[in-house]
Amino acid sequence: MALSDRGGGLAADVGGTNVRFARVTSDESGRPVLSDERVLAGADFRDFESCLEAYLGGDRPARAVFGIAGSVGGGRIRLTNRDWSFSVEDLEQRFGLQSLEIINDFAAIAYAVPVLEADDWRPLPGPAWPAALPDRVSVIGPGTGLGVAMLVDGGARVVPTEAGHTTFAPADRDDLALLDHLLRTRDHVSRETLLSGRGIETLYQTLAAMDGRATPSRTAAEIVAAATGEDLARRTIERFADLLASALGDLALAQGAQAVVVAGGIPPRIAGHLETPRFRARFEARGPAAGDMARIPIALIARPEPGLLGAARRLVSSWAADL
């Protein structure tokens, strides 16, 4: 039975700036079908309930899955970058939902991976991206934070993790010097400390300090934009790419991955730095395991905002599991 036979469903990708909604049904093969996609600005609404009401009007869905940029544990949900919170039970009652599932926004991106089309991928140097997902796939995405997940059983299951908070491990002397400088002002340096939007800003300021010069504060977007002309910005993005390659390699080894997916908001903006022999070499540089690493393909998600599709796929999958 298709999801449309029971009134359809609702998917949402709830971020700190925008909220993306779509009605969801499924086709005969069980793939999600999205319609009435809309983007609402969070700043236009006092709370999430009023934002949801504005999208739904009087047409209530039976089921919903929301990907949330925030804490998803427990019955009270709080967004990280917007002063919104809500109760899952209250939303179910107010909007007549038979079920509402809340998932982490990066888990939503991972759920999208098995249903992405060929045009949604940007393969990076190395082995060709497979036509079908292998059994174990690592997914890593630097954006506001550093999201990490794992797909198993060919994408049938998503395993969210907090691996973005694992400790940064230097891969060479330059990394050691960077870590030494960072530890002068903080007790712990995680992967996310450097592989995130704030991480780009931290790298920029730290490299300047290591050069013995002061530099004005810049946002990550400004640093990325300046990387084509300014030496410090260029070095910052090159170092970011180096650290990302190392993180991908460590993650692939730790998870036994047979393929690696790069997601998040930053990689598409610096894709040229990820398509180099240097990036691939840094990924493979794992001593005795280098031969195994050379067989692992890497691809960048090129589809904008895949989290909405992932929430829709989770909705369709959970509906099928309940039949």
pLDDT in tens, the chain (323 residues): 455 545 589 999 998 889 999 999 998 888 999 999 999 999 999 999 999 999 998 888 999 999 998 778 778 898 877 889 999 999 999 999 999 999 988 999 999 999 999 999 999 999 999 999 999 999 999 988 899 999 999 899 999 888 999 999 999 999 999 999 999 999 999 999 999 999 999 999 999 999 998 888 899 999 999 999 999 999 999 999 999 999 999 999 999 999 999 999 999 999 999 999 999 999 999 999 999 999 999 999 999 889 999 999 999 988 866 65
- Record the pTM: 0.89
What pLDDT sits at residue 5? 47
Pick the CATH number of 3-113+306-322 from 3.30.420.40, 3.90.440.10, 3.40.800.10, 3.40.50.300: 3.30.420.40
Pick the CATH number of 117-302 from 1.10.1580.10, 3.40.50.1220, 3.40.50.1970, 3.40.367.20: 3.40.367.20
Q: Give how far Cα 150 sits from Cα of 106, 117, 203, 253, Å.
A: 11, 19, 27, 12
What pLDDT sits at residue 1? 47
| Whole-number Å distance between alpha carbons of 77 and 139 | 24
Among residues 306, 303, 300, which one has the least CA distance to residue 274?
300
